[in-house]
Amino acid sequence: MIQLLRLALAQINVTVGDIPGNAARLIHYLERARAEKANLVLMPELAITGYPPEDLVLRQDFVDANLRALEKVAQATHGLIAIIGFVEREGADIFNAAAVCVDGRLLTTYRKICLPNYSVFDEKRYFRAGGQPLILKLGELRLGLSICEDIWVDGVVESEAQKGAADFIVNISASPYDWQKGDERELLLTSRARNNRVYLAYVNTVGGQDELLFDGRSFIFDPHGQPLLRGEKFQEQFLLHDLEIDTSLTKAAARSPREAGGAMNKAGLTTTESLTLREVSIEMKMPAVPTRSTAPNLAPHLADEEEVFRALTVGTRDYVRKNGFKKVVIGLSGGIDSALTAVIAAEALGNENVVGVLMPSRFNISASTEDALALAQNLGIRAFTIPINEPMTSMENSLAPTFSGREPDITEENLQARIRGMILMALSNKFGWLVLTTSNKSESAVGYATLYGDMAGGFGVLKDVPKTFVYRLANWINRVRFKDNPVIPQRTIDRPPSAELRPNQTDQDSLPPYELLDRIIEAYVEEDRSVTEMVEAGLPREIVRQVVNMIDRAEYKRRQAAPGIKITTRNFGKDRRMPITNRFQP
Amino acid sequence: MIQLLRLALAQINVTVGDIPGNAARLIHYLERARAEKANLVLMPELAITGYPPEDLVLRQDFVDANLRALEKVAQATHGLIAIIGFVEREGADIFNAAAVCVDGRLLTTYRKICLPNYSVFDEKRYFRAGGQPLILKLGELRLGLSICEDIWVDGVVESEAQKGAADFIVNISASPYDWQKGDERELLLTSRARNNRVYLAYVNTVGGQDELLFDGRSFIFDPHGQPLLRGEKFQEQFLLHDLEIDTSLTKAAARSPREAGGAMNKAGLTTTESLTLREVSIEMKMPAVPTRSTAPNLAPHLADEEEVFRALTVGTRDYVRKNGFKKVVIGLSGGIDSALTAVIAAEALGNENVVGVLMPSRFNISASTEDALALAQNLGIRAFTIPINEPMTSMENSLAPTFSGREPDITEENLQARIRGMILMALSNKFGWLVLTTSNKSESAVGYATLYGDMAGGFGVLKDVPKTFVYRLANWINRVRFKDNPVIPQRTIDRPPSAELRPNQTDQDSLPPYELLDRIIEAYVEEDRSVTEMVEAGLPREIVRQVVNMIDRAEYKRRQAAPGIKITTRNFGKDRRMPITNRFQP
């Protein structure tokens, strides 16, 4: 049988907690779907509440508001079948659920079976796991539902598919971005489609939420695993696609019924019983779909630098806007981190919404000031200068009696950084600008930043970007993104990096070369490698020891750092929950 | 049958990550137990690694080190039976486990069945759940093992006991303190003993770990639910007790075998199968126990203020010491929060290890300075004065061109607080003193504190203490603890609280009275009450709305706050995981 289906994937950007706003956005897209004569509309996981709602879901009033909103949204589905993520309640339990809304009413729900509780996820803190796959019968077509993690764990969609139950697997997700996950996800989805001989549609939310960024990139695959639709990354999109579903491609595949029990255990399910399928029929006359092209519609893959640049841009824009700010302020040092932060901020918010502040001290060389001003001019952002020599002298005078007889040391370096932090915060308080911090992941890892100094601010654009990748981005910006008019002064990129807190200082006085440092950070922080393993992999033992100690000892600083966008496989934040009090010697 | 058993409960203070140090401590107490002719030694949950080890347990080298340490500790059990908490590994899974060590070797292990994943707990992030209760047969005596949460959830120890399998339930715990849990825990344990007609021994770890404090207070109960032993709170103790176990009191109770399945589900267990008991016999000639008194040995209950005072003292001491600091520095304002913080610090660390700094501005009245100096003198702590007028003027001058035409506002108030924070951090950098912050929970809730100002520092002693309780503590300190020589100037307690950042400012210019504020905070933060519920409970709607908005909007500040000791049922920290980007209107 061939069935024509017009599918709409709402790859949308919702805001955590903004239940009325999110509902209005869902209704807007449902109306559009109806106008476009779509049959089936997929909306992301927890689209009503935003993802992750965290401890908000422990509040009864929050879950109530979400249920009331779902009711309203369901009423807007007349003429449509819509799958919509929301929080379902039963007694004292709540579920991460998908509402199946048909023609203006809630027909049934599906409850997420696999609850991720690792990495940045805490779903077992909140939700009870579902235990029952759902098949929607739509004429001769059989749709198997799943929510995010369900499709990552062997045995859930496979159990539906391998029992021959589904022709078409649907997955609604809120799957956070990291720079490795995109390829991984596409490979996973294509293999799920191909191995189970099913059509597969996947919709992912998009946009930033605190440290997390959702990259969209929704998909449709055919039963050969060929992509029919690939959405854009980091953009809200309403994706329409006409599918000619050939059930002979799916039902023809001989499948032996198989219990999913074994694989389930691995998923940490709350049951070892085999999952029993539930089937629900949808009785709705589907509107006739006018014939349109069913040709594949595939957004291109992006180069690494472009992908991360877009990620940081959207993450910054969403944090700033969703928290009610319009303008941001950045301390411009003439160095590469603040330059890159300013470029991203201008891209995210418009150059009229970015203010740069130069805060030179007696240790800043003139090249720094020149480069900072050149950058501001290239970007077309407002910049002004507030020298810190006078406050620095007065602080030193105030402390002189107490410090008498002591040599200058890191204390005085930190004072400079803290005066700068104080100036930026004063501008924030006076004018309502959000302070963007400029530290990168390499500095944050080893504590090469001043608490309440350059760490002062509301959002860390580069917080999870290793310094070596800061260089790659800066080069890409000059050579590709702004190739006709490079915005970052070349000297900013070429000079040895320096905090300029004492004469002739460079980062490499205190740190190993960044290439080496970043390899150690990746091995230790992201891969949990032991010192022995790192040494066996060819890294120098003394430096490994030194860096590992620095990383462990800087935990107290990171705990007071501003949030920033996760782009690596493990960021400093909810993704890595280390004790501060920790005497482990790795 | 009557069996005499000499029981040792090692209510000990270990340090997270200090595996060699913890092992040495366990071995020390095992040797003491042998010298004291104890038969059975109980050591806390995860005693080898410290609790909670958080993401350290994701590291293979960490789990390896813990296994090697357990081997050494097991060898030190000759002549003893010891139950010791450690991380067990099987393939790719790890378990929160109890090692049963007998006469110098590891006999078997028990794996925690109920993994808490709420409140401050993340155990499902790390551990696979065990599924098998264990009975140790020791001659005619049958011991049922359990780990912490196992005894809180209906159905686990009950399944052992109600099947008539156990005479004696053993529980090893790392159960964090809050000011309600003590009574709750004692009631729970007594009812488990009585309802199941078993002897019950409970050992809890003691000491501070970042925001958590473990209060010890180990117990032994008889089958009537009568306490035979009650350990001290907040003190490391090696508790010895001779038990005359009368199995006729336990086995005589007719019990119907019952499956635990139903209740298990509630515990979020990974199986709904009934739990099948495993029995292991211990073949060891027990040393004869010389007859000693078996009379109850019950540490007294403490008054609320004394309990919290001790909690804060131990929490502060452990954070400071375990992180390698000797001295602390505190900004003394003449107000009640800094006074109380200084009293606790002096109690925790000795007055010679506490430095007070007065940082007066033109807005501080002379009473503040007098009271701060009097407090320092009463406590015998060093104090010195660093006025902030000069740095304040120089900061204002530096900002004047940028701020031209703008009225002074909260910006200038924050500048004062930030200059003070900067001075304290400079002292910390120069002399290696840890800065203690002085904000209380009420201020933290509503954001009535300056980020990088009075919030700057390494540890917040009063972070989870509501302002109304700050007053109760201050009064108790003067009237009870130091009744012969009250240390806190009475005027500090009596004056209206003020941040003194502008002339004649008081807290109540910006905030409702603290009695009312604290009621709203408790209802909203700790009890998740809705605005409607609070209003129905008699709280004024306008003020409730205002406070709730303040609490929600201050999340970004709290995210950058120093850690501090949890004493309430829900602290700001791992216990309350709220998004910063959050548009929910409760």
Which segments of chain B have a pLDDT < 70? 251-274, 287, 290
Amino acid at position A111, single letter: R
pLDDT at A256 over 60: no
Six-digit token string for A291: 């014939």
Q: How far is CA A189 from the centre of its chain?
A: 19
pLDDT given at position A268? 46
Query: Per-residue pLDDT for A255 more than 70?
Result: no
Same domain, B331 and B410: yes
For A116, name the nearest residue in chain B, comparing CA atoms only.
B125
Contacts B55 to A, Cβ<8 Å: 576-578
* Helices (H) then strands (E): counts for chain B: 20, 21
Token pair 């007889």: residue: A405
Three-state secondary structure call for residue B221: strand
Of B508, B524, B557, the residue that ends a domain is: B508
| B60-92 per-position pLDDT tens digit | 999 999 999 999 999 999 999 999 999 999 999
What tens digit of pLDDT does each residue of A110-142 get? 999 999 999 999 999 999 999 999 999 998 899
Q: For residue A274, what pLDDT band results from cuts at 50, 70 and 90?
A: low
pLDDT at residue B294, as a whole number: 79
Q: What angle do CA B356, B360, B365 make, to 5 degrees?
A: 115
Q: Which of A46, A119, A398 to mutate to test the interface with B (most CBs of B within 10 A)?
A: A398
For residue A327, being part of any structural domain is answered with: yes
Q: Is residue B523 part of a domain?
A: no
Whether A315 and A353 map to the same domain: the answer is yes
Contacts of residue B20, defined as CB under 8 A and 6 or more positions apart, other chains included, come to B69
| Mutate which: B406, B583, B585, vs A, most A CBs within 10 A | B583
Sort out which chain B residues have CB atoms less than 8 A from A451's CB and list them.
425, 456
Burial class of residue A495 (count of CB atoms within 10 Å of its CB; 0-12, 13-18, 19+): middle
Indicate whether A381 belongs to any domain: yes
User: Considering just the CA atoms, what is the radius of gyration of chain B in Å?
Assistant: 26
Residue B315 maps to which CATH number? Answer: 3.40.50.620
Give A251's pLDDT tier (boundaries 50, 70, 90).
low
State the Cα–Cα distance between residues B175 and B411, nearest whole angstrom: 43
pLDDT at position A250 = 86
- Please count the other Cβ atoms lying within 10 Å of the Cβ belonging to residue B312: 29
Cβ pair A551, A442 in contact under 8 A: no
Structure tokens belonging to residue B271: 């199986």
| A58, A61, A398: residue with CB nearest B586 | A61
Q: Kindly state the tokens that stand for A59.
A: 């509040």
Residue A55: its chain B contacts at CB < 8 A? 576-578
Annotate A439-450 with DSSP letters as a single string: --HHHHHHT-S-
Cross-chain residue pair B426–A399, CB shorter than 8 Å:
yes
Task: Check residue A542 and give its pLDDT.
Answer: 97
Q: Which of A318, A415, A422, A536 best tests the B interface by mutation, with the highest count of B CBs <10 A?
A: A422
Same-domain check for residues A157 and A64 = yes
Q: Are A326 and A265 part of one and the same domain?
A: no
In this structure, the answer to whether residues B352 and B277 fall within a common structural domain is: no
Residue B370 and residue B277 share a domain: no
Q: Average of pLDDT values for A379-388? A: 97
- Does any domain span residue A556? no
Active-site residue identified among A88, A101, A112, A441: A112
Nearest CB to A579: which of B59, B210, B386? B210
CA distance A312 to A255: 45
The answer to whether residue B295 sits within a structural domain is no
Q: Is pLDDT of A263 > 60?
A: no
Per the annotation, the verdict on A54 as an active-site residue is: no
Question: Positive or negative CA dihedral for B442, B447, B452, B458?
Answer: positive
Q: What mean pLDDT do residues A370-396 have?
A: 97
Does A441 have pLDDT greater than 60?
yes
Annotated catalytic residue: which of A148, A236, A305, A441?
A148
pLDDT digits (tens, 9 = 90+) for A211-225: 999 999 999 999 999
Q: What is the DSSP letter of A524?
A: I
Please confirm whether the linkage preceding A52 is cis (ω < 30° from 0). Answer: yes
pLDDT in tens, A528-549: 999 999 999 999 999 999 999 9
Q: Among residues of chain A, what percentage have pLDDT more than 90?
A: 85
What pLDDT does B583 receive?
A: 97
B464: amino acid identity, one letter: D
Mean pLDDT, chain A, as a whole number? Answer: 93
CB A2 within 8 A of CB A244: yes
CB B349 within 8 A of CB B318: no
Residue A259 predicted with pLDDT over 80? no
Evaluated on CA atoms B419, B423, B425, B429, the torsion sign reads positive
The dihedrals phi and psi of A260, each to the nearest 5 degrees, come to -100, 0
Is 80 exceeded by the pLDDT of residue A162?
no
Are A468 and A503 within one domain?
A: yes
**Sign of the four-CA dihedral A463, B557, A52, A26:** negative
Angle between helix A514-521 and A467-476 (nearest 10): 120
β-strand partners of A297: A229
Query: The domain containing residue B421 runs over which residues?
Result: 304-508
Looking at the fold, whether A427 and A334 belong to one and the same domain comes out as yes
Burial of A400 (0-12, 13-18, 19+ CB in 10 A): exposed
Q: If pLDDT is split at 50, 70 and 90, which confidence band does A262 have? A: very low
CB B200 within 8 A of CB B8: no
* DSSP for residue B353: G
Inside any domain, residue A546: no
Burial profile B480-497: b = 16 or more Cβ within 10 angstroms, e = fewer:
eebeeebbbbeebbebeb
Residues B79 and B169 in one domain: yes
B145–chain A nearest CA distance, Å:
23
Shared-domain flag, residues A224 and A280: yes
- One domain, residues B19 and B66: yes
CATH number at residue A51: 3.60.110.10
Whether residue A128 is found in the same domain as residue A241: yes
Is A420 contained in some domain?
Answer: yes
CB contact under 8 A, B530 and A323: no
**Domain presence at residue B211:** yes
End residue of a domain, out of A242, A261, A292 = A292
Whether A148 is catalytic is: yes
- B122 with A122: Cβ contact below 8 A: yes
Which of B483, B508, B533 terminates a domain? The answer is B508
Residue B111 is predicted with a pLDDT of: 98
Number of domains observed in the structure of chain A:
2
Helices (H) and strands (E) in chain A, counts: 20, 21
B109-114: long-range contacts, CB 8 A cutoff, minimum separation 24: B110/B134, B110/B145, B110/B146, B110/B147, B112/B45, B112/B147, B112/B148, B112/B149, B112/B150, B113/B146, B113/B147, B113/B150, B113/B156, B113/B267, B113/B269, B113/B275, B114/B149, B114/B150, B114/B152, B114/B153, B114/B156, B114/B267, B114/B268, B114/B269
